[in-house]
Structure 1
């Protein structure tokens, strides 16, 4: 059996589900795009090809192997994009919560049944239908659970709105001993630089008390300021609109001291090293064209211990 344990974003990783780019299908039509960045690349003829994305994901897998992480992969479904495993489920403490994702993507859950079979049935939770949530919006952080959401009346108009107010309430009720802090995110169906698809597209906590943040990803300035005050301005790497577009905040921590990052993120990677991090640089720029990056393509299952702020 697999013992789930996730209480933060940075403790030493022991087991993870990494997505796959194998047989990810043909370039979607504009009508099939789930986000504005993918749409942009579809229209420009620059949408990533499978061979390049497979190479990028195998580079990620090699880093996990280097650090002795147990890696699970989905079963390959023909002509199905299975890269972003964070969308379909997430773990808080010892519970795995299956996401109510876009209907077209439900078969992705079938492809990880061999992993779910290793988890006690009572530890797998199925939210009610009114709860919309994806793992990119949910961040366990010690005593807190940070959740990105969109609660305006026009929620249904945004294909980029993935986590609703019912999800915030549901998670708060599941974990009453945690402090649930939600953040209203800026959404756009057409402009990738004005769209925070998930919370991890504009914010990510790191080890050593550091964090990556983008102010314009948040609709309410006071909520952005809460994070600044929580981490301390001196501990925050503030990214630009273009850097958010490139997915600078969507790196991945293997431990409090080791961060996997895209090799082109020069300004961020240099800063991380000055803060004492080991930075494992890999190519991931093709996958980034789908408005997702390193955190999006992982589903952490077990981390070693709690890192206190």
Structure 2
């Protein structure tokens, strides 16, 4: 009886081990409800690689198109792509009733950066490879994420049509609700009148709340930013071209810098494929 009990125990333990091993093999990573409430996503929830998109705009509606377009364009094998809510997409009513103050806009941007960091950290803590994509307004969110949380918050970054040190006259005008643009990507042209649309004025204040930052100073504490690919347009009418100082700064930090001869939209459309390839190693379908 003693030996039988011993052998029976051994068999039971062996069966339990096999069962547990099988469970581990079939175990999924998934996405928690808390994180799902902060994102629009597409792809394999258990994918080993995640692209976290900082939405462009700014806009008051969470975009689905940016994620969908990635899936229509690129090889998304073993890839999860998510677009993260920002303060104004979670609470659009804040922008629809009254003019927000500039200080309020700055606080809301801080909330947006914390939101994307929460999502990035969640996937990193699961052991996944995490790439951050930031285009236009999203470029400033990505830059602020790096400045506040470190370049190692994510594995790689692709930043398209952003600015490190926006012209003061431009962000100050936006903070007052006055629209503007860059002539030939260099000369700021500012409307003298406040914009007529309330929501646009408030969204411009969000843009000003990030573009007021001097990222050549905020990112100067990092010796190596070689995990960033940065694309800019030489005649970008929306954010302006990078200055010589900005270019020299990025080069000094070993950033992979790509130059387009085009405007804002052309730079995005013509160079996003190259950017995905060089930053993330992701190819066309």
TM-score class, shorter: 0.3 to 0.5
Which structure is larger by alpha-carbon Rg, 1 or 2?
2
When normalised by structure 2's length, the TM-score is 0.33
Greater relative CO, 1 or 2 (CA 8 Å, sep 6+): 1
> Going by fraction, where is helix more abundant, 1 or 2?
2
